[in-house]
Amino acid sequence: MFTLLKTEGRARRGTLTCAHGTAQTPAFMNVGTQAAIKGALSARDLEEIGCQIELSNTYHLHLRPGDALIKEMGGLHQFMGWQGPILTDSGGFQVFSLASMRKIKEEGVTFASHIDGRKIFMGPEESMQIQSNLGSDIAMAFDECVENPAPYDYVKQSCERTLRWLVRCKKEHDRLNQLPDTVNPQQMLFGINQGGVVPELRVWHMKQIAALDCDGYAIGGLAVGEPAETMYEIIDAVEPHMPKDKIRYLMGVGTPENILEGVARGIDLFDCVLPARNARHGKLYTWHGTLNIKNEKYKNDPRPIDPTCTCPACRNFSRAYLRHLFAAGEMLAMRLAVLHNLHFYNELMARIRQALEEDRFQEFYRVSVEELRQKL
């Protein structure tokens, strides 16, 4: 259940209460696609760096180790040792990302497994069944994320099909939550707004899915190659039609600047692989901009990545040491870098929440956008 506590302009401060705890919003969900954060982080690490909600992927966990096995092990929380809220993506994004390996029909999508090539069918009902087996706190509706650019007629057909799929998702989700052996009978369902970069289709679709009274709503299909300004224009078009009493989630976004812009436009939840991926390549975030720790100038720098940061990497190690680890190809380099970047994102959200509580978000937004754009 989402509770809106206060607003400043369109920015919102709230709470999201799930079966496994309450998250303070706005929040960034840390992405553990296969029930682990790439960079050798465990659930214990997530607790230390301030993660509130963990995100895992339905498609990948269905393939390996299998959702039936995870259900047998007591659900995803028990399996990975994370006791906070979990959101599972529906597998719909794989419809987009595995474009050369899938076939879309009204019934659902046939994939060729990226692991061994075997054929897999997933439709709305199958996606709901897998997510029910995982026992996540939030299940995402099965949808199609269209390519950008895509022909108007195809985007329209896809929107209409995604709406029909949501109706099927909701029916199956309601049925599964009533079963006596359901892992998490309090699992919530979020609908997903689609429509490419066509504002009128986005608005039409949002109005349709809002009438279905889901537990929350996401804007999907953005951050797939369109300019940032186009993404902001789509949010501006859709947001007025999103229910005010339901949580809003911008899927797959993004940079710190994207998050600040999203919060300013009324978004509550974010997720992205970017901080962990950038960290594994040595790109690190600080409150004065980004730095590439692999640069020669850091080889004898005794300072932490960010002197104001309290993450495990900054509390204990120097830039020089981290640069050495990357140069030597040590796994510890990725682990420390990922810990830092995810801590930074979680801290960014904490500072956003504090600014909203103190009625100074607009000032925080103005100053932070400029600072975070810098390159050190």
Verify whether residue 271 is a known catalytic residue.
Answer: yes
Give catalytic status of residue 181 as yes or no: no
Residues 113-118: contacts with CB within 8 Å, 24+ apart? Answer: 113/63, 114/63, 115/63, 115/64
Q: What angle do CA 239, 142, 122 make, to 5 degrees?
A: 165
- Return d(Cα 164, Cα 166) in angstroms, integer: 5
Selecting among 45, 215, 268, 271, the annotated active-site residue is 271
Residues 32, 35, 40, 44, Cα dihedral to 10°: 100
Q: Which two tokens stand for residue 56?
A: 């895992």
C-alpha to C-alpha distance for 41 and 340, rounded to whole angstroms: 11
310 membership: H or E segment, kind and range: none
| Catalytic residue, candidates 45, 89, 137, 143 | 89
CA distance 166 to 160: 10
User: Which residue's entry shows tokens 């990975």?
Assistant: 80
- Residues with a catalytic annotation lie at 89, 271
